[in-house]
Amino acid sequence: MSNDKDKDEGGIPLSVKGATDIDPWLEPFAQELLRRRTIADNWIKKFDETEGGLLKLADSYKEYGLHANQNDHSISYKEYAPNAIGASLIGDFNDWNHDSHKMQRDAFGNFTIILPPRENGDFAIPHDSRVKILLTLPDGSKVARLPPWIRRSTQPPKEYKNPTFESRFWNPSKEEIYHFKNARPLLPTSLKIYEAHVGISTPEPKVGTYKEFTKNILPKIKELGYNTLQLMSIMEHAYYASFGYQITSFFAISSRFGTPEELKELIDTAHGLGIRVLLDIVHSHASKNVEDGLNMFDGTDYYLFHGGSKGVHDQWDSRLFNYGNYETLRFLLSNLKFYLDEYNFDGFRFDGVTSMLYLHHGVGEGFSGNYNEYLNEFSKVDREAVAYLMLACDLCTEFAKLQKTSITTIAEDVSGYPTLCLPRSSGGVGFDYRLSMSIPDMWIKLLKHSKDEDWNMGDIVHTLTNRRYGEKCVAYAESHDQALVGDKTLAFWLMDKEMYTNMSTLTPLTPCVDRGLALHKMIRLITHSLGGEAYLNFEGNEFGHPEWLDFPRIGNNDSYHYARRQFNLIEDDLLRYKFLFYFDCAMNNTEANYGWLNYPQAYVSLKHEVDKVIVYERNNLLFIFNFHPTNSFTDYRVGLNGTGKFKVILSTDDEKFGGHGRIDKAVEHFTTPYNWNNRNNFLQVYLPTRTALVLAKID
């Protein structure tokens, strides 16, 4: 595996020593870490030898698929279909003639053709016209398929008998091509992520568009203080209700929302507002669709996928990629670079990483945190998938260096895989962040099963702070998962009995709504400030959206009633939703002005189970939470290491946030040099029930 000269005095391979230095408990697994790293490193060497490097391999999207030469108006087409013995390009342009545009096959299973321009100089294939590839299989049968590298795929009108998606040749005129005007924003000190779905981003029961999102939602994201937009369900998927998780065309963006040029305009406009844009990338699996997907593309079940049962995810009813296959790596790595190059995305949120990491895909597994579950040489980890994730992170790192920019990578992993967010140079997988998926589960469990007076402050703090040293986390109180039908958002758990009757400011504030507004703010603030190095919110949840999310499907008679976000509610001055919206703005902007995300973990000085009070310091700020359902405290003493004069810079009890205005923010708080809760000083505050305060030094 490695020579003695490649090891330190303790026998630890130097190429993974960075990881073992951060976490000495990894030392017994150093050889396994090295084995996994070596798989990725060997791929890098192979790409250097055969392709000219990783980025050159990832440029394959410029060669494969359909391409228009703007100089001579010819069109080139290249497709990989190793099982086919013949191929033809068919479409509207040749009246779907099977024989007029036959393709040439090379020894590697690649089919190519060049179409010269028409006599009048026009492209042989009209812009946005339908095309397919017709493959001849070894038994002589013929199958028509959508080109896997196609950049535009659309669904025919409902009155058509065949609803399967159709591939189209996207080649807009020079006047129609969108040209980016704004550079990528610099990487902010802290990521505040707004997770959004274009199709639901309208109050009307319909599919929203890129244009509408650009005009109506981007300004709200800016106002709220989020600096990063995470777009879900962008890669083309035939089934809308899958929330974008059954991908059929990996290089095509969802045509439901508009055109490629309109998505480019959305991203460019976001950049102009200083908002970076991440793509939810789905490389964990693919749709089982045959007619308009990758499945059985060339007549085999192992085209880019594992064959047989290994290539099927039973619970997701989808196909699983073979990450040890050269052409699979070409396809997926090119897919990443395509979105970086063509759309100027600023990074990726990798979906379904847990499924990728393990041969059991996380199904029926409870991860205890024992390192043997992840790093034992006999553990059920898919080493080839781990290597692919390393290569994906390498690609983003190399691209960022070449473009002198920053590319962000986030892993959706529920298993707690060690080293996932350590740099590749240290022996890690290389992600920048992982999602803290245990945090929303904790809040839902508390609201669902525990009375307020039974909440355990120690358990809350433990869940919010229980993360691996040196590996950054994205904290969130709830995401799209909690908003989907079958679950409940925090606002629903808190106020569902009265959200349709007592959210008007013209009606008295009821105990239910009062509690809901108070805890909604407190839960968000403590998650924001204690739970990680970045923060995420799903659109609409910031103002307590009153309904779950349910896409049109047979079970609801294809209704769009719940497939929308009612942003109009915050614009109604007579409704209380505005209070939560204003608080979210204040929370994000306070963080922007004073900073706590992406700073060292907080020091928690108090977890008082009787008073239900939590106190901690982070980046010289003092956070105080009173979760007690009835008790308020006068001159409550809290410890801190800072000295001098402090003021309240954020209070959840402000009237403009739907609170009772019990905190006078003009009051100055002075420290006293006396050891309290293992801190060198203390100060005293008025701490009303269900209120959180943030204090900063003012001299």
Phi, psi at 80, each rounded to 5°: -100, 115
Nearest-Å Rg of the Cα atoms of the chain is: 27
Structural contact between residues 248 and 292, judged by C-beta atoms closer than 8 angstroms: yes
Q: What is the mean pLDDT of residues 347-354?
A: 97
Write the pLDDT tens digit of every residue in 480-494. 888 777 678 899 999
pLDDT at 548: 85
DSSP 326-345: HHHHHHHHHHHHHHHHHH--
CB 196 within 8 A of CB 539: yes
Task: Considering the candidates 291, 382, 412, 584, report the single residue annotated as catalytic.
Answer: 412
Biggest distance spanned by C-alpha atoms of the chain: 90
- Tell me the mean pLDDT in the region 192-211: 97
**What percent of the chain lies above the pLDDT cut of 90?**
90
Q: Which residues contact 265 (CB under 8 A, 6 or more apart)?
A: 178, 210, 211, 214
Task: Render pLDDT for 121-136 as a digit per residue (tens, 0 to 9).
Answer: 999 999 999 999 999 9
For 129-172, write each residue's pLDDT tens digit. 999 999 999 999 999 999 999 999 999 887 666 789 999 999 99
| pLDDT score of 113 | 98
Question: Nearest to residue 429, comparing CAs of 24, 33, 29, 21?
Answer: 33
pLDDT given at position 554? 87
pLDDT of residue 161: 65
Split at pLDDT 50, 70, 90, the class of 337 is very high
pTM confidence score: 0.96
621 pLDDT band, cuts 50/70/90, is: very high
Instruction: Answer for the pair 537, 195: CB distance below 8 angstroms, yes or no.
Output: yes
Let me know if 498 is a catalytic residue. no
Bigger pLDDT: 63 or 379? 63
Q: Say if residue 669's pLDDT is above 60.
A: yes
In the structure, what pLDDT confidence band is assigned to residue 6 with cuts at 50, 70 and 90?
A: confident
| Dihedral-angle region of residue 619 (phi above 0 means left; psi in -120 to 50 means alpha; beta otherwise) | left
Q: Which tokens in the block code for residue 158?
A: 């409902």
Three-state DSSP class for 145? strand
Cα 29 to Cα 374: distance, rounded to the nearest angstrom = 10
Cα distances from 666 to residues 437, 450, 518, 621, 662, in angstroms, run 38, 36, 22, 17, 12
The pLDDT of residue 213: 98
539 CA to centre of own chain: 13
pLDDT digits (tens, 9 = 90+) for 499-558: 889 999 999 999 999 999 999 999 999 999 999 999 999 999 999 998 888 899 888 998
Residue 504: beta bridge partners?
575
In the structure encoding, which two tokens stand for residue 568, read together?
């109009």
Residues 124, 95: Cα–Cα separation, whole Å: 12
What's the distance, Cα to Cα, between the start and end of the chain in Å?
58
For the segment 470-488, the average pLDDT, to the nearest whole number, is 87
Mean pLDDT of the 398-412 span: 97
Is 82's pLDDT higher than 70? Answer: yes
Per-residue pLDDT reduced to its tens digit, 325-335: 999 999 999 99
Residue 627 corresponds to which tokens in the numbers above? 């979760």
**For residues 216 and 180, is the Cβ–Cβ distance under 8 A?**
no
* pLDDT given at position 500: 87
Residue 351 among the catalytic residues: yes
DSSP 53: S
Confidence of residue 681 (pLDDT cuts 50, 70, 90): very high
How do beta strands 276-281 and 228-232 pair? parallel
Q: Are 440 and 493 in contact (CB under 8 A)?
A: no
Q: Please, which residues have CB within 8 angstroms of residue 49's CB and are 6 or more apart in sequence?
A: none
Q: What is the pLDDT of residue 259?
A: 98
Query: According to the model, what pLDDT value does residue 159 have?
Result: 66
Over residues 21-62, the pLDDT tens digits come to 999 999 999 999 999 999 999 999 999 999 999 999 999 999
Least confident of 227-236, 388-397, 557-566: 557-566
pLDDT recorded at residue 303? 97
DSSP state of 521: H
Of 79, 298, 351, 617, the active-site residue reads 351
Q: How far apart are CA 324 and CA 387, in angstroms?
A: 9
Look at residue 187 in the predicted model and tell me its pLDDT: 97
For 215, phi and psi rounded to 5 degrees? -75, -40
Answer yes or no: same fold for 64-167 and 603-697. Answer: yes
* AA letter at 474: V
CA pair distance 574, 327, nearest whole angstrom: 58
CATH number of 603-697: 2.60.40.1180
**Residue among 471, 399, 405, 481 nearest 439 (CA):** 481
Phi, psi at 366, each rounded to 5°: -110, 115
**What pLDDT sits at residue 4?**
46
Q: What is the pLDDT of residue 251?
A: 98
Question: Stretch 412-418: mean pLDDT, rounded?
Answer: 95
Query: Domain residue spans in the chain?
Result: 64-167, 603-697
Enter the CATH code of domain 64-167: 2.60.40.10
Percentage of the chain surpassing pLDDT 70? 98
What value does the mean pLDDT of the chain take? 95
Contact between 477 and 440 (Cβ < 8 Å) = yes
- Is the pLDDT at 1 greater than 70? The verdict is no
